[in-house]
Amino acid sequence: MRIIDQRALPEAEITRDLESAESVADAIRTLQVRGAPLIGIAAAMGLVAAMRDDRALARATFLGRLNQRATLLGAARPTAVNLRWALERMLTTAAATAGEGSNLWERLHVEATSIWEEDRAMCRRIGEYGLSILSDGANVLTHCNTGALATGGIGTALAPIYLAHEQGRRLHVYIDETRPLLQGSRLTAWELMHAGIACTLITDATAASLMRQAKVDTVLVGADRICANGDFANKIGTYGLAVLARHHGVPFYCAAPWSTVDASLAEGDLIPIEQRAPSEVTAMAGRPIAPDGAAALNPAFDVTPSRYVTAFITDRGIVQPPFRS
Amino acid sequence: MRIIDQRALPEAEITRDLESAESVADAIRTLQVRGAPLIGIAAAMGLVAAMRDDRALARATFLGRLNQRATLLGAARPTAVNLRWALERMLTTAAATAGEGSNLWERLHVEATSIWEEDRAMCRRIGEYGLSILSDGANVLTHCNTGALATGGIGTALAPIYLAHEQGRRLHVYIDETRPLLQGSRLTAWELMHAGIACTLITDATAASLMRQAKVDTVLVGADRICANGDFANKIGTYGLAVLARHHGVPFYCAAPWSTVDASLAEGDLIPIEQRAPSEVTAMAGRPIAPDGAAALNPAFDVTPSRYVTAFITDRGIVQPPFRS
């Protein structure tokens, strides 16, 4: 299984070949592979790669190993539900398939490929449904990276932007740099510039001022997990944008595949929020940017209550909560 | 005139001796010296240092040179009014003093020293007036740097925090890192840690989520210019905090010396906003963090309308607009 190490972008395009569940889990944990839909695909493909040498095993032993590895992969990151969704789908498929290890492995290979292909089609559908919210000349503000680098296709929140651009609509995208890991500067700017879409980087704290100056027509973000009531977790900073958008009368859309819905959670405050290392805030590219010993909080996500969301753009259409999986 | 180059903090404490108006203007422009009150003091002291070799000049020639250098210094940064306030005070003092160059220079030296001493006393008064808003156990959120490194004394927005700590009140300060130049991480964290005040760094986009969790009791910021109606300019990101504070019912205070009031401007949208180089956003410590050629907006300040401000903490007390200089 071959990945692009997203930590090195845009300075370098480094590819890695991963063969074990440990190395895939590590790639997910360290954000070499990131983006809620993509980590689901990576986990499914990673499971197939890791089980390749176990094809000769008898059914029960094969399933035992499969379960162990799925548990390992599922623990790599806690917030995005797509990871667990993809792994559960793989486990359910294996359980429902007759035969020994080699049969199961072949079927898992097909299933992982389906997850990827469905993701690609899902992105396109999100893009098509989302087209209606982007008029010619619109200024769109987005946060983090929700494009081709976060999915198996053209992205979630970026998908409508790609399709609108394809159709000749003139858009301009303000990209929040998205501290601490700068997915906006490093990844979204890279994607949009490659696609020839006009874009401008801003620091995260600049968005409010642009809204006050009426320079933002629409805010469009992704999601890592959406609860039954429509509360959702996304990259830290999303909630602040939602409040600011509401305050300034700017429509605020969340675009995500249906697999992001976790209807088992009634509301947002039940979503586990990943706390990442303080060093992501206090150092940058290995160089300290704060005094030695400074304390820092580094939640990777925040929760945006559903009432701030104008609508959810999904592969099943533009929808409103409540959601059932 | 000796300064600490604040760009190198907290990694290194580099001092520089500046003798010419050009070198002082350059130090202000490149943020070696920063903070609205401190750049006023630096400009006044810089004028004295630069005129030292002109003491032998006749009155008219001396005043001509003084005016030229004040114009140069005044153009170094456009938004903070304290810079122009201090320079105008120096020019008015020179004009009102009898005699030739040597007399004028001696008087200017006294005046610059007074500006510094008054600033120190002003900080203390802001701190004393501000004490009433900080109860024991409070969690305070602040943005940028408004402490000893931004003034000639104990700071503006940090002054009440220093005095409350001196009195034994237990405070905890959340420090916005303050992108792009990280004055929060580099300077405020350094100051508060040296003072033994509990503090935690956060990325700028984390503040909203902390407010939603009721972890912030008070927001306390400085100002670079306050208009007659109470609208004020401060570090980019301040306006967003003001909206978020209002939305969550968190008191939002602006602490600044009276010299920050520019009553000649009726309202905030008349304040000139300094646009700094995009490279401050797209690179960090000389290393690119965005693709080559990426466009970026980099306004150094934003404007917060007066209606979001609970009260202004000044050296003349806790006050409400309208203001007259």
Task: For residue range B114-153, list pLDDT tens digits in order.
Answer: 999 999 999 999 999 999 999 999 999 999 999 999 999 9
* B chain contacts of residue A286, beta-carbon cutoff 8 Å: none
Pairwise CB contact (< 8 Å): B236 & A206: yes
Rounded to the nearest 5°, which phi and psi values hold at A154? -95, 10
Mean pLDDT of A23-38: 95
Percentage with pLDDT > 70 across chain A = 100
Residue numbers of A between 137 and 176 with CB closer than 8 Å to B: 174, 176
Q: Which are the contacts of A263, defined by CB distance < 8 A and separation ≥ 6?
A: A227, A228, A323, A324, A325
Size of interface A-B (CB pairs under 8 A): 179
Provide the 3-class DSSP secondary structure of residue A25: helix
Say which of A224, A231, A262, A302 is annotated catalytic. Answer: A224
Q: Which residues pair with A3 in a beta bridge?
A: A16
Is the distance from CB of B33 to CB of B39 less than 8 angstroms? yes
Is the distance from CB of A161 to CB of A195 less than 8 angstroms? no
Q: How far is A245 from chain B (nearest CA, A)?
A: 11
Q: What tokens appear for A14 in the block?
A: 């480094």
A273 CA to centre of own chain: 15
The reported pLDDT for the residue numbered A180 is: 97
A227 band by pLDDT with thresholds 50, 70 and 90: very high
The reported pLDDT for the residue numbered B284 is: 87
Mean pLDDT of A9-37: 94
Q: Residues of chain B whose pLDDT is less than 50? A: none
**Residue A126 in this model has a pLDDT that exceeds 90:** yes
Average pLDDT, chain A: 96
**Cα distance between residue B242 and residue B247, in whole Å:** 9
The reported pLDDT for the residue numbered A7 is: 93
Is the distance from CB of A176 to CB of B237 less than 8 angstroms? no
Largest CA distance in chain A: 66
Q: Enumerate domains of chain A plus CATH numbers.
A: 2-125 (1.20.120.420), 129-319 (3.40.50.10470)
Reported ipTM: the value is 0.95
Where does residue B172 rank: exposed (0-12), middle (13-18), buried (19+ CB within 10 A)?
Answer: middle
A306 CA to centre of own chain: 19
Pairwise CB contact (< 8 Å): A200 & B296: yes
A269 band by pLDDT with thresholds 50, 70 and 90: very high
**Residue A278 in this model has a pLDDT that exceeds 80:** yes
Mean pLDDT of A131-147: 97
Mean pLDDT of A52-77: 97
**Residue A11 in this model has a pLDDT that exceeds 90:** no
Mean pLDDT of A59-84: 96
Count, residues in chain B: 325
Pairwise CB contact (< 8 Å): B205 & A240: yes
Rounded to the nearest 5°, which phi and psi values hold at B140? -110, 135
* A chain contacts of residue B181, beta-carbon cutoff 8 Å: none
Element (H, E) at A209: helix A207-212
The reported pLDDT for the residue numbered B35 is: 94
Q: Which are the contacts of B161, defined by CB distance < 8 A and separation ≥ 6?
A: B134, B140, B142, B171, B173, B192, B197, B220
* B chain contacts of residue A10, beta-carbon cutoff 8 Å: 288, 290-292
The reported pLDDT for the residue numbered A287 is: 87
pTM over 0.90: yes
Percentage with pLDDT > 90 across chain A = 96
CB-based contact, B251 to chain A, within 8 Å: no
The reported pLDDT for the residue numbered B90 is: 98
**Cα distance between residue B84 and residue B201, in whole Å:** 33
A40 band by pLDDT with thresholds 50, 70 and 90: very high
Say which of B176, B224, B302, B315 is annotated catalytic. Answer: B224
**Cα distance between residue A165 and residue A160, in whole Å:** 8
Residue B315 designated active-site: no
